[in-house]
Amino acid sequence: MIVMKFGGSSVADADRIRHVAGIVRSQLERKPVLVLSAMGDTTDYLLEAGNAAFRGGEVSIGPIEKHHFDTASKLNLPEAAKLEIESLLDELRRLLSGISLIRELTPRTKDFLVSFGERLSVRIFAAHLNSLGIKAVGCDAWDVGFISDSNFTSAELVEESRELIRAKITSMIDSGVLPVVTGFIAKDSNGDITTLGRGGSDLSATMIAAACGAQEAQVWKDVDGILTADPRIVERAMPVEMVTYEEASELAYFGAQVLHPRAMQPCISTGTPVLVKNSYNIDAPGTRVVATLNQKAAPVRAITFRKNVTLVDLVSTRMLGQYGFLAELFASFAKHRVSVDVVATSEVSVSLTIDSGQDISALKSDLARIGNIEVKTGKAIITIICNVKRSTEILARAFGICQLVGVPVQMISQGASKVNISFIVDDTEAEEVVQALHQDFFGFALGEKLAV
């Protein structure tokens, strides 16, 4: 079997749903299980409705209701399906009245609230498949084994889920039914609805694929795959053919918002491939996420960057031959709740980056007790996602490029993650460096030698 996951924009309206049903139909013999997000931006609208109820005591789901009913009508869904939608919307209205009365919107209630998006979309989609003669059943995640901890808005699935999911899903497939499962949501052991974090339906899909030993998990998006760079900055950014699970997770953290950062986790132990495809451009090959790449793969997978970073330099001769110095240093960051991203140290100095825009005056006076501190704002982190085994070659090229464009590198860090080399430059120069690096690492691959 395979798992096919469709994101919000892939199932945004009746036309998209018809189109996606066509994609599903073309792969029926592979025994698909579907995982869906809420239609379009429904999750955001639900959160807005929750806030309106909480702040102003107003209960209004007009646009959400209209959009789901319009879609049901355009798809000519039978009365029974419309009744199911109606009853979910009634429950949603009651929840919002509750929020407006008690003026309380806890993380637990928020998860209950946003769950309606996925619960509505799977019912509409399953009804549409049935009207096409494909026997499908819309399922809430908790009915097919998704049990999580109680960390509302960012829950983790518990280990028992795997076996439960395997048993439930395979028995449905064996009885000739196509399961259409809600992404993003689960229930904790008390029976309360939880969510796996925004964008979490990727994780729902990979979990089902790994649990059931699927041939692959297809994640259908509105882009051609994971790209070599941000296309808004690099015109020639192109889809990466293959990346490893580690590289894909690292990319997710560093800004390429294609896959959920935790989505690869369930597949690591099973080696299940994840295929990122574009539902708007079916013929594009997409990106394949796998356990390992062969030796001949290009050394660099993608180049990302993050602006608005502050560089903190701390120099102290006390550090020489000492122990516990770094512990003391990081304890200060912990105490002031400032999160550190990239770090480099020598015998007498530490450089690290934090996100700009935080008040760090108290932290600064704490650190001043340890050593001489210098804070430089307006920096950017450039990250090369690559095979770090070839770091000598990659660094030589990257530094050559920086020299060529006349941009000084202010700090460098090669993480233990084996897939990431990061360095710091001035904010104003980041885009130019990314463009030049992209041209060097990917430009020639296109057979077009361009002047920097």
What does the block give as tokens for 68? 């789901």
Q: Interface with Mg ion includes 261 (CB under 5 A)?
A: no
Looking at the DSSP assignment, which residues form a beta bridge with residue 139? 181
| Nearer to ligand ASP among residue 141 and residue 382 (C-beta) | 141
Which span (36-44, 154-162, 267-275, 310-318) binds ligand ASP, by CB under 6 A? 36-44
Residue 227's binding partner, choosing from ligand ASP, Mg ion, none, with beta-carbon cut-off 5 to 8 A by kind? none
Tokens of residue 242, six digits: 């293959």
Q: Which residue in 144, 115, 91, 141 sits closest to 38, CA to CA?
A: 115
Total residues at the site for ligand ASP (CB under 6 A)? 12
Q: Are residues 16 and 46 in contact, defined by beta-carbon separation less than 8 angstroms? A: no
In the complex with ligand ASP, the residue whose CB is nearer, 39 or 395, is: 39
Q: Which two tokens stand for residue 166?
A: 């395997």
Assigned token pair, 431: 């885009």
90: burial class by Cβ within 10 Å (0-12, 13-18, 19+)? exposed
- Residues 8-27 vs ligand ASP: string with x where CB under 6 A? x-------------------
Nearer to Mg ion, 37 or 387 (CB): 37
Binder of residue 117, out of ligand ASP, Mg ion, none (CB less than 5 to 8 A by kind): ligand ASP
108 binds, among Mg ion, ligand ASP, none (CB under 5 to 8 A by kind): none
Nearest approach in angstroms of CB 38 to Mg ion is 6
Whether the CB-CB separation of 172 and 137 falls below 8 Å is answered with yes
Minimum gap (Å) between residue 8 Cβ and Mg ion: 4
For residue 37, the minimal CB distance to ligand ASP (Å) is 3
Q: Which of 10, 37, 71, 109 binds Mg ion (CB under 5 A)?
A: 37
The contact mask relative to ligand ASP for 104-123 (x = CB under 6 A, - = no) is -------------x------
Examine residue 38 and tell whether it contacts ligand ASP (CB under 6 A).
Answer: yes
Are the CB atoms for 28 and 134 separated by under 8 Å?
yes
Contact status: 7 vs ligand ASP (CB under 6 A): yes
d(CA 401, CA 434): 10
Cα 65 from Cα 372, distance rounded (Å): 60
Segment near ligand ASP (CB under 6 A), from 77-85, 172-180, 199-207, 271-279?
Answer: 199-207
**Cβ 76 to Mg ion shortest distance, Å:** 26
Residue 145 as a binder of ligand ASP (CB under 6 A): the answer is no
Q: Which is nearer to ligand ASP, 108 or 198 (CB)?
A: 198
325 binds ligand ASP per the rule CB under 6 A: no
Strands (E) in 140-278, as ranges, are 178-182, 185-187, 193-195, 217-221, 242-244, 274-278
Supply 438's token pair. Answer: 């992209």
Contact window for Mg ion (CB under 5 A) among 2-10, 332-340, 396-404, 425-433? 2-10
Tallying the residues shown for the chain, one arrives at: 452
Q: Is 37 in the site for ligand ASP (CB under 6 A)?
A: yes
Q: How far is the CB of 64 from Mg ion (least distance, A)?
A: 14
Asked if 364 touches ligand ASP (CB under 6 A), the answer is no
**Burial, 369: exposed, middle or buried (Cβ in 10 Å; 0-12, 13-18, 19+)?**
exposed
Out of 6, 184, 441, 442, point to the residue binding ligand ASP (CB under 6 A): 184
- Distance of closest approach, residue 397 Cβ to Mg ion, in angstroms: 37
What does the alpha-carbon distance between residue 80 and residue 59 come to, in Å, rounded to a whole number?
26
Do residues 220 and 279 make contact, with C-beta atoms less than 8 angstroms apart? Answer: yes
Is residue 200 near ligand ASP by the rule CB under 6 A? yes
**Nearest approach, Cβ of 260 to ligand ASP (angstroms)?**
7
Torsional sign, CA 289, 290, 295, 299: positive
Question: Which DSSP helix (H) or strand (E) runs through 206?
Answer: helix 201-212
At residue 242, φ and ψ (nearest 5 deg) are: -145, 140
Residue 50 near Mg ion by CB under 5 A: no
Is residue 412 within a helix (H) or strand (E), and if so which, with residue range? strand 411-414
Q: Using CB under 6 A as the criterion, which residues of the chain lie in contact with ligand ASP when the complex forms?
A: 7-8, 37-38, 43, 117, 183-184, 198-201
Q: Using CB under 5 A as the criterion, which residues of the chain lie in contact with Mg ion when the complex forms?
A: 8, 37
